[in-house]
């Protein structure tokens, strides 16, 4: 069983409390990976640049980031797009482009002739994983997946120990205890492209 009932252990009894505020529009889960798994997001500067790219693009093409975790070589996010819109691909193109053109490390890495001929720099994997969130339970599973991800990847001992995560906001809002996922494995058994 995947989901969250009040009888389950491991902090899930808290999780039933959180619900998305009802708003129209589609919600998506994304996984974006760096080119060749370059460890790009290892410092404040690159994480801040990614955040700035998102804010800049949001001003032009609105969407809301509902949950996010940024790891050295990939990140996961849940977005909600306004009603009647589903063009996340254009938003991702703008975000990736903004970042690539402003990140000093974009040029100092070998790329492939095919990418060079297209003017692509060695920053992003071309493909990314997207999943349309089906319902409340699916949303919660993906939110948990995001927040547990640094532990799953062996980068942190607990979700609360990872800096670049919306987990801290969710804790402040009372949706998790601050020690959720610490010391006990959280099995969020969803298929998200192996990331």
Catalytic residues: 164
In the complex, least distance from residue 75 CB atom to Ni ion, rounded to whole angstroms: 8
In whole angstroms, the minimum distance from the beta carbon of 184 to Ni ion comes to: 19
**Of residues 85, 120, 138, 195, which one binds Ni ion by CB under 5 A?**
195
Looking at residues 89 to 128 of the shown chain, list those that interact with Ni ion (rule: CB under 5 A): none
Q: Which is nearer to Ni ion, 82 or 164 (CB)?
A: 164
User: Is residue 73 close enough to count as binding Ni ion by CB under 5 A?
Assistant: no
Q: Strand 27-33's sheet: what is its strand order?
A: 64-70, 74-80, 27-33, 129-132
Owner of token pair 């491991």 = 10
Q: Which is nearer to Ni ion, 39 or 115 (CB)?
A: 39
The residue with its CB nearest to Ni ion is 195
In the window 135-194, what residues touch Ni ion (CB under 5 A)? 149
Nearer to Ni ion, 34 or 149 (CB): 149
Q: Please state the closest distance from residue 120 (CB atom) to Ni ion, in A.
A: 23
Measured distance CA(143)–CA(41) in Å, rounded = 21
Q: Which is nearer to Ni ion, 41 or 99 (CB)?
A: 41
Applying CB under 5 A, the site for Ni ion has a residue count of 2
Closest contact distance (angstroms) between CB of 147 and Ni ion is 11
81 vs 30: CA distance, rounded Å: 13
Q: Give the nearer residue to Ni ion in terms of CB position, either 46 or 149.
A: 149
Closest by CA position to 4, among listed 146, 161, 176: 176
Terminus-to-terminus CA distance in the chain, angstroms? 20
Q: 179: Cβ–Cβ under 8 A, 6 or more apart, which residues?
A: 11, 158, 160
Q: To which residue do tokens 């804790």 refer?
A: 171
User: Measured on CA atoms in the order 108, 111, 116, 121, is the torsion positive or negative?
Assistant: negative
Task: Tell the smallest beta-carbon distance from residue 139 to Ni ion (Å).
Answer: 18
What would the two tokens of residue 127 be?
A: 């493909």
Task: Enumerate binding residues for Ni ion (CB under 5 A).
Answer: 149, 195
């Amino acid at each position: 069983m995947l989901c969250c009932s009040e009888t389950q252990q491991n902090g899930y009894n808290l999780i039933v409390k959180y619900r998305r505020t009802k708003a129209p529009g589609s919600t998506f889960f994304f996984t974006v990976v760096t080119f060749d798994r370059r460890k790009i997001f290892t410092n404040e500067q690159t994480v801040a640049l990614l955040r700035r790219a998102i804010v800049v693009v949001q001003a032009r093409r609105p969407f809301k980031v509902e949950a996010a975790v940024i790891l050295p070589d990939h990140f996961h996010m849940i977005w909600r797009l306004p009603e009647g819109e589903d063009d996340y691909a254009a938003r991702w193109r703008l975000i990736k482009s903004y970042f690539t053109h402003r990140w000093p490390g974009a040029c100092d890495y070998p790329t492939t002739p095919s990418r060079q001929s297209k003017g692509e720099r060695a920053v992003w994997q071309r493909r990314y994983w997207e999943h349309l969130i089906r319902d409340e339970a699916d949303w919660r599973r993906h939110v948990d997946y995001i927040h547990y991800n640094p532990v799953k990847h062996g980068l942190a001992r607990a979700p609360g120990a990872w800096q670049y995560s919306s987990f801290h906001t969710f804790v402040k809002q009372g949706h998790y205890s601050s020690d959720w996922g610490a010391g006990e494995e959280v099995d969020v058994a969803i298929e998200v492209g192996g990331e």
